Amino acid sequence: MEMAPCHSDKPLVAYGYCMDCFETWLSKRKPSERYGLSVEDAVALMKYQECKCYLCGYLFGTDMPVIDHDHLSGNPRGFAHKKCNSLIAFGMDSPDLIRKVADNLETPPYSRMVTPN
């Protein structure tokens, strides 16, 4: 388990912070104003996600998490890496489109066109 730079005796949560410092950082960002989450709810969500991005499953470590949300309803979905969140945005929040992209990434057109010797 990696320890936080802010408090070397506490585990790293995200953005280089331990859970206590992450909570302080969240209180300054005011997630309730954008996503309807209290700081306590946001901390509970991070703990529920075990300090991992809900999309890729990797720890945040020193990366800054963002709150991914449904762009139609505005409802929060979970903490994600900024790059993972961008992937969802570029995929227009469409699971079908993102699945299609993943399928084509696994078997791109050239690999389907060319037959092995």
The pLDDT tens digits for 90-117 are: 898 899 999 999 999 998 888 888 766 6
**For residue 114, what pLDDT is reported?**
76
Q: Where are the domains of the chain?
A: 19-92
φ, ψ dihedrals at 55, nearest 5°: -90, -50
pTM (whole model) above 0.85: no
More confident residue, 60 or 32: 60
pLDDT at 84 exceeding the cut of 90:
yes
Whether the CB-CB separation of 67 and 22 falls below 8 Å is answered with no
pLDDT at 77 exceeding the cut of 80:
yes
**Could you tell me which residues are beta bridge partners of residue 67?**
79
Mean pLDDT in residue range 68-79: 90
Class of domain 19-92: alpha beta
